[in-house]
Amino acid sequence: MATIGFIGVGNMGGPMAMNLVKAGHCVIAYDLSDALLDIVAEAGAEKASVASDVVVGADVIVSMLPSGKIMENLYIHETALLDIIDQNTLVIDCSTVAPENSRNLAVAAEAKGIVAIDAPVSGGVGGAVAGTLTFIVGGSDTAFENAKPVLSDMGKNVFHAGGNGAGQAAKICNNMLLAIQMIGTAEALQLGVDNGLDPKVLSEIMLQSSGKNWSLELYNPYPGVMDGVPASNEYKGGFQVNLMNKDLGLAMEVALHSKSATPMGNLAKSLYGMHGRKGSGALDFSSIQNMFKEE
Ligand code: NAD
């Protein structure tokens, strides 16, 4: 079992750290919030009062932070943890950031003889709690193999997307497609309802037809069609509109760099941006259904 330094024990990082404790690892955690540290300490992790205390002597460092700027400041610039991390330590950043942030981390780490990889996740808070997250890794073959056992203790699927930054790029592509698909699904369901169709019946028909997709099959956005999804719980829980907006922003940044045409992604970003600004930021992203309803 490994000694794991964990930085950022928020909605996602907290349960992920607890799953590492459950798997028998020695976890030392750090977060700006003492209250969140108390929660993971109760589950068996050790609390650190400064970031440097979790990285010295760790076999693996896992971070789960809100943004690329915070991640880079922590490892490279302000806190400069790379200056004190041991060369045998594997750094796994699971935050969702731009591929460029992940490449910056890998390059700065390599200059100090340290290996760092990106391993953003899909699966949300529910997946983090259940230990069923999907990890999408960017890094070398060797680093991927070394990271796999630890990631498997927090998730069900561990994919190797390519070199550093590829994990972020793959995650961004997936979430852009998810946003477009969810909007299309909500639009089609509302068109049906406005023309006298029962959304449940329409969903059944489309599920057996060419309109079938993940949102329709497992995450129906129309209230009352499916049990156990946010749409049937006033859009509470799930994946917040704010986080979808963050990921769509990253997708547009990446598209700008690669000069890729993303007209549907652009439109999805505008629609989710408007939806968030109208006070729905904390709701699940399937609440985009409300934008199509008559006021
Ligand atoms: P969160 O805000 O709940 O947690 C982030 C934690 O990082 C907070 O507890 C914060 O105090 C801590 N933090 C911030 N700066 C820090 C610093 N300098 N040192 C130490 N700790 C610091 O966010 P979250 O929902 O857990 O998301 C974390 C990451 O996971 C984000 O990049 C997000 O995009 C991604 N993600 C979230 C979800 C989701 O459903 N919540 C799903 C997939 C991916």
Architecture in CATH of 169-292: Orthogonal Bundle (1.10)
Placement of tokens 């108390």 in the chain: 38
For residue 127 and ligand 1, the question of a CB distance below 6 A is answered with: no
pLDDT at 242 over 80: yes
Can you tell me the mean pLDDT for 45-70?
97
Distance 200 CA to ligand 1 centre (A): 36
pTM over 0.85, yes/no: yes
pLDDT tens column, 189-237 = 999 999 999 999 999 999 999 999 999 999 999 999 999 999 999 999 8
pLDDT-above-70 percentage for the chain: 100
The domain segmentation of the chain, as residue ranges, is: 3-163, 169-292
- pLDDT at residue 124, rounded to an integer: 87
CA atoms within 13 A on the CB side of 186: 22
Q: Is the pLDDT of residue 100 over 70?
A: yes
pLDDT level of residue 104 (50, 70, 90 thresholds): very high
CATH of range 3-163; options 3.90.1150.10, 3.40.50.720, 3.40.50.2300, 3.40.50.150: 3.40.50.720
**CA 32 to centroid of ligand 1, rounded, Å:** 11
Distance from Cα 126 to the centre of ligand 1, integer Å = 15
Nearest-CA residue for atom 9 of ligand 1: 10
| CB 96 near ligand 1, within 6 Å | yes
Q: Closest residue (by CA) to atom 30 of ligand 1?
A: 95
131 CB under 6 A from ligand 1? no
What is the Å distance from ligand 1's center to 237 Cα? 16
Which of 234, 232, 238, 237 minimizes the C-alpha distance to 220? 232
144-168 mean pLDDT: 98
Q: Is pLDDT at 244 greater than 80 in this prediction? A: yes
Report whether residue 10 contacts ligand 1, using a CB cutoff of 6 Å. yes
3-7 and 26-30: which strand pairing? parallel
Nearest to 144 by CA among 196, 76, 90, 79: 90
Q: Which residues are catalytic?
A: 171
Cβ of 246 less than 6 Å from ligand 1: yes
Confidence of residue 294 (pLDDT cuts 50, 70, 90): confident
pLDDT at 295 over 70: no
Digit-coded pLDDT (tens) for 67-79? 999 999 999 999 9
**Cβ(2)–Cβ(59) under 8 Å?**
yes
* Least trusted range by pLDDT, from 27-31, 99-103, 153-157, 291-295: 291-295
